Structure 1
Amino acid sequence: MNEIRPTVSSFGPARLLAGTDAGRLDRARHLAVHGPVPVLSSEEVVTLTRTVDLRGRGGAGFPFARKFQAVVDALRNTQGDPAVVVNGAEGEPSCLKDTALLLNAPHLVLDGAEIAAVALRADEVAVGVARSDVLASVQQAMDERRSLSVRMRVEQLPERFVTGEGSALTNGLNNNPALPSGRKVRTSERGLNGRPTLLSNTETFAQLAVAARLGAQGFAEVGLPDEPGTAMLTVAGEAVVEAPTGAPLTYLLQMCGMSVGQGLLVGGYHGMWLSPAAGELALVSREALKALGATLGAGAVLPLPEETCPVGETARVARYMAGESAQQCGPCVWGLARLADELEALTTYGGQAAYDAVFSHVRGVLGRGACSHPDGTSRFVSSALKAFPEDVGRHVYEGGCGRPVLGVLPVDGKDVGKVTQRLLVDWTLCRAHGLCADVLPGVVQLGPDGYPSSADMPLKEKERANAVRAVRRCPALALRVVG
């Protein structure tokens, strides 16, 4: 479980995080900071969000006005009341911005959901979350709003990468397994309990609440002319920063005591890598990042320090992503697992064959999954290998880069910045040379026959470099490092 409580700060005056410097905003403090909840018609919501070009902040960046209008259109052909769903199930370890909002400013998110619900005449707002502390914060906020006409509920769903996929979230809120449906059914037509449903991300509803209070002109006073407002970013899996659009990413990294390093991953584990030169030019902007070949995605920004191995970090994330499979289609179940296997082989042994196998499996999963998880993972892997050509070349032609895998890309909220790895022995190859025990005397213990006494030995972070040396020195090629 990801129980990291993110630090929050702002680059310039805060909007979404206004007032949170003193801690979580209860209902009274929230109203003192932001004022009462405006009431807008459906036409006013569409006009406002289209004028400020409000986009979904969960990854896809879909225009909110079009999504809202789709629900309005669906209601013309459907009887019954619509629903509003807030996607707060942030399942990726590198993303904490929605968690930060729901822990510190839950009423702003619920305001946005209420504005949309009233405009649509929806009778229910459902919030899906994945953490117990977030559940408690949102439930407390809902209890403080009992007098409101819109019925609200919050449900805790499994904390998994795929839980945040739209159909998976809706399935979970419908008391079904929180897994992607695999069918191209729009929630605007059939969502919560089969009703037309407006489903959007936590930050998107908070932005709606701010825009409704400021109006289009006031909202556009901050940020870029064609992308007004602010954006929430998660830096290095721990720090959440609110910044105006157009702000250089390097400024935000400096606020957090970091630099671009070897490269910059933008958009999370379905995002793309930027080279150091491109990272220095990157702005908080959809269009600026698109011009650099990247996407803002879910707002995760992950710099890669010079001290760690890019190929090993990529392999570690690929293994995590394979484990987050919904187990519903071959590309996820088998394809991603094999992709992780080949990346680990490239990390540990190197060679052209391992490199070719990685790209074979990247191509093998593209466009074949029941949801976007295989495609997003394959893009992440291919982007990483293209972003670090020198490091990849050392693995291919020299058997490795000589750097440890520090685990700076989080794959578990309890283990940010750490790595759990194992040294494995292939008994079919081992010939009891004993060199591994010389290199790793605290890890490898030889039995009376001269063979390692165990085929599976846990490694501490500080032992990783020597483990790689042991792998390279083994004349029988019987060792490998995994994890």
Structure 2
Amino acid sequence: MTSTSAITVGNIGGPRLTLGFDRFDRLDLSRHLAVHGKLHTPVLEDLVKMCEQVDLRGRGGAGFPFARKLMAVASRIRYPSADPANLLPGEEQDGRRDSEDAVVVVNGAEGEPASYKDKVLLTRAPHLVLDGAEIAATALGTRRIVVAVESEEAARSVRAAITERRMPARVVLLTERFISGQAGAVINAINGERPVPPTRKVRAAERGVDGCPTLLSNTETFAQLAVLTSLGPDLYASAGTEDEPGTTLLTIGGTKVVEAPLGTPLQTVLDYCDVPPYQAVLVGGYHGIWLDLQKVGMAVLSRKGMRKVGGTVGAGIIVPLAEGTCPLGEVTRIASYLARDSAGQCGPCRLGLPEIVRALNALMGGAAIPDDVRRAAGIGRGRGACSHPDGTAKFVLSAMDTFVDDIRMHMRGGDCGLKTFGVLPLPVPKGTEGKVSIDWGRCDGHGLCAYLLPELIQLDRYGFPQVLGNEIPTWMERDVQRAIAMCPALALRVTPA
């Protein structure tokens, strides 16, 4: 993982979240107080009104109204100051908990390899994030705060800030995976369970950390809450648009973080970052969509503006695809990564995502057509345990519509004339990755391996196995070892990826 010290940070139109970054590498408590002022903690009713007035939305991708999250948690708890005489008959048995049982979770897990905005906030302005968490916790009548991160650097920064503040918060270090930031996976990890999305949807507001009502939102959202409380709704709304006030953080190309007012044209941000010539731009990360050059010129970074070009701001991830690299090859790289990094606990991930990769590889070699990819992307859509299969399908289908000329060249000759340089960001290999290989001096074509490992091996028209070339997902390691042991010819191997 790239250190946040290597990430360039800037702003368009004036800093808010990034205030003080031009003077300090990191804002400790004294610097934070000098820059942002003393913490102000409104009561729940006033806080909800402020959030509704500026329509504060989550900045983790889904864009859920923060006021509704607050009220959902508040509806599940009783406040100690409440007069028992005012409780309705049976109210104590309606599933509600005392307010001190509620938990506030800062989701600092950026599973997206191209996203760094939350890591920048946690390492450079941790007190702003903790201000937001403390504001929400105080309004809910609890002191229980958990900060979930997947970066050691961020964890150290937050622990130091917690010590400075002498606040009863804890830091949980998560496994770095694409699905780490999914709400259910974060809750499971904090609870000491397998850190993957649950197979059955459970609302964190009803049953989250330790089974308690839990307010979970991403890092930037809590930082925005702190800024909103500090500035007040009217001054907060002096940036952005009338419908969508405020600023947002964007990660550009996995190397730059920019704070910009909502309503800023996408082209303005790209020009500010001196982005080299590009073929298309991915917005919304690896569950997002591709914009061709025409749509890039039309795109405005707001919910309303992005809807006009078919996209979303999402988690603020913007990835230009540089000229000179094969678009289809880059898309296949990312799809392979998304298939490998899934939870692997339901059919759409175990079978649907590998089928997408197979179809893309065939299209790369001129042995398939885009409709084959579209059919593969339709496997299990809407039936996954989480949004990962649908998000991956969205990314791939968008590529089929955007890179028409490149795909046509592959269909004609199996090659577009460009190499795949791997310009789209992926996690740095740990050196322990492996892939399945076959000892052809031993293989007799029994085909058992393709039956045991359909995600990694398929049979050719002669009945011999074809390895798809994917790295072995963590969730398949046991299956691979079983297939190796069961191969009648002892021809199956694991070799370095």
**Where does residue 338 of structure 2 map in the other structure?**
321
Unaligned runs of 5+ in 2: 79-93, 442-466, 470-496
Q: Which amino acid aligns with 2:327?
A: P
Return 299-308 or 29-38, whichever deviates more.
299-308
Superposition map of 1:413-452 within 5 A: 413=428
**How far does the alpha carbon of each residue in 1:424-455 deviate from its partner, in whole angstroms, 9 at most, with x for none?**
99969xxxxxxxxxxxxxxxxxxxxxxxxxx9
1:384 aligns with 2:404: no
**Correspondence for 1:125 among 145, 148, 157:** 145
Q: Which amino acid aligns with 1:206?
A: A
Decide whether the 8 Å contact of 1:10 with 1:242 is kept in 2.
yes
1:362 aligns with 2:362: no
Decide whether the 8 Å contact of 1:231 with 1:284 is kept in 2.
no
1:79 aligns with 2:97: yes
Question: Aligned equivalents of 1:331 and 1:346: distance in 2?
Answer: 21
- CA change 1:343–1:335 in 2 (3 A) is same
Q: Which amino acid aligns with 2:356?
A: L
**Where does residue 259 of structure 2 map in the other structure?**
242
1:259 CA drift (Å): 5.0
1:13 aligns with 2:14: yes
**How far does the alpha carbon of each residue in 1:122-163 deviate from its partner, in whole angstroms, 9 at most, with x for none?**
2300010001111101101101010x4xx2111101000111
1:374 CA drift (Å): 0.5
**Correspondence for 2:66 among 64, 67, 79:** 64
- CA change 1:421–1:171 in 2 (3 A) is closer
1:2 CA drift (Å): 5.1
Q: Which amino acid aligns with 1:111?
A: D
> Which secondary structure state, in structure 2, belongs to the residue aligned with residue 9 of structure 1?
strand
RMSD: 2.3
- CA change 1:229–1:112 in 2 (3 A) is same
Decide whether the 8 Å contact of 1:2 with 1:414 is kept in 2.
no
Return 392-401 or 370-379, whichever deviates more.
392-401
> Which secondary structure state, in structure 2, belongs to the residue aligned with residue 364 of structure 1?
coil
**Correspondence for 1:142 among 154, 159, 162:** 162
**How far does the alpha carbon of each residue in 1:3-56 deviate from its partner, in whole angstroms, 9 at most, with x for none?**
464221111210001002221000000000000110111111110011111100
**Where does residue 135 of structure 2 map in the other structure?**
115
> Which secondary structure state, in structure 1, belongs to the residue aligned with residue 97 of structure 2?
coil
Question: Aligned equivalents of 2:341 and 2:3: distance in 1?
Answer: 18
**Correspondence for 1:92 among 105, 109, 112:** 112
1:252 CA drift (Å): 1.5
1:385 CA drift (Å): 1.1
Superposition map of 1:8-407 within 5 A: 8-21=9-22, 22-76=24-78, 77=94, 78-80=96-98, 81-146=101-166, 148=167, 151-259=168-276, 261-347=278-364, 349-351=365-367, 353-407=368-422
Question: Aligned equivalents of 2:239 and 2:56: distance in 1?
Answer: 14
> Which secondary structure state, in structure 1, belongs to the residue aligned with residue 223 of structure 2?
helix
Q: Which amino acid aligns with 1:79?
A: R
Q: Which amino acid aligns with 2:130?
A: L
**Where does residue 461 of structure 2 map in the other structure?**
none
**How far does the alpha carbon of each residue in 1:253-285 deviate from its partner, in whole angstroms, 9 at most, with x for none?**
122221562111100001111111110121221
Q: Which amino acid aligns with 1:285?
A: S
Question: Aligned equivalents of 2:46 and 2:208: distance in 1?
Answer: 24
Decide whether the 8 Å contact of 1:3 with 1:131 is kept in 2.
no
Question: Aligned equivalents of 1:456 and 1:324: distance in 2?
Answer: 16
Decide whether the 8 Å contact of 1:335 with 1:364 is kept in 2.
yes
Q: Which amino acid aligns with 1:350?
A: G
Question: Aligned equivalents of 1:398 and 1:280: distance in 2?
Answer: 32
Question: Aligned equivalents of 1:263 and 1:393: distance in 2?
Answer: 17
Question: Aligned equivalents of 1:27 and 1:85: distance in 2?
Answer: 21
> Which secondary structure state, in structure 2, belongs to the residue aligned with residue 144 of structure 1?
helix
1:297 CA drift (Å): 0.9
> Which secondary structure state, in structure 1, belongs to the residue aligned with residue 161 of structure 2?
helix
Q: Which amino acid aligns with 1:99?
A: K
Decide whether the 8 Å contact of 1:93 with 1:413 is kept in 2.
no
Q: Which amino acid aligns with 1:186?
A: R
- CA change 1:427–1:8 in 2 (3 A) is same
1:318 CA drift (Å): 0.2
**Where does residue 448 of structure 2 map in the other structure?**
none
Question: Aligned equivalents of 2:357 and 2:148: distance in 1?
Answer: 30
> Which secondary structure state, in structure 2, belongs to the residue aligned with residue 126 of structure 1?
strand
Question: Aligned equivalents of 1:97 and 1:282: distance in 2?
Answer: 21
> Which secondary structure state, in structure 1, belongs to the residue aligned with residue 384 of structure 2?
coil
- CA change 1:252–1:426 in 2 (3 A) is farther
Q: Which amino acid aligns with 1:9?
A: G
Question: Aligned equivalents of 1:425 and 1:126: distance in 2?
Answer: 47
- CA change 1:318–1:174 in 2 (3 A) is same
- CA change 1:108–1:295 in 2 (3 A) is same
> Which secondary structure state, in structure 2, belongs to the residue aligned with residue 411 of structure 1?
coil
1:410 aligns with 2:411: no
**How far does the alpha carbon of each residue in 1:73-130 deviate from its partner, in whole angstroms, 9 at most, with x for none?**
1225412321100000111101111011101101000000000000001230001000
- CA change 1:34–1:217 in 2 (3 A) is same
Q: Which amino acid aligns with 2:376?
A: H
Aligned length: 422
Question: Aligned equivalents of 2:299 and 2:342: distance in 1?
Answer: 31
Give the structure-2-normalised TM-score: 0.81
Question: Aligned equivalents of 2:215 and 2:266: distance in 1?
Answer: 32
**How far does the alpha carbon of each residue in 1:274-314 deviate from its partner, in whole angstroms, 9 at most, with x for none?**
11111012122111001110011111001112211111110
> Which secondary structure state, in structure 1, belongs to the residue aligned with residue 134 of structure 2?
helix
Question: Aligned equivalents of 2:37 and 2:272: distance in 1?
Answer: 30
**How far does the alpha carbon of each residue in 1:217-246 deviate from its partner, in whole angstroms, 9 at most, with x for none?**
010011111111100000001111001111
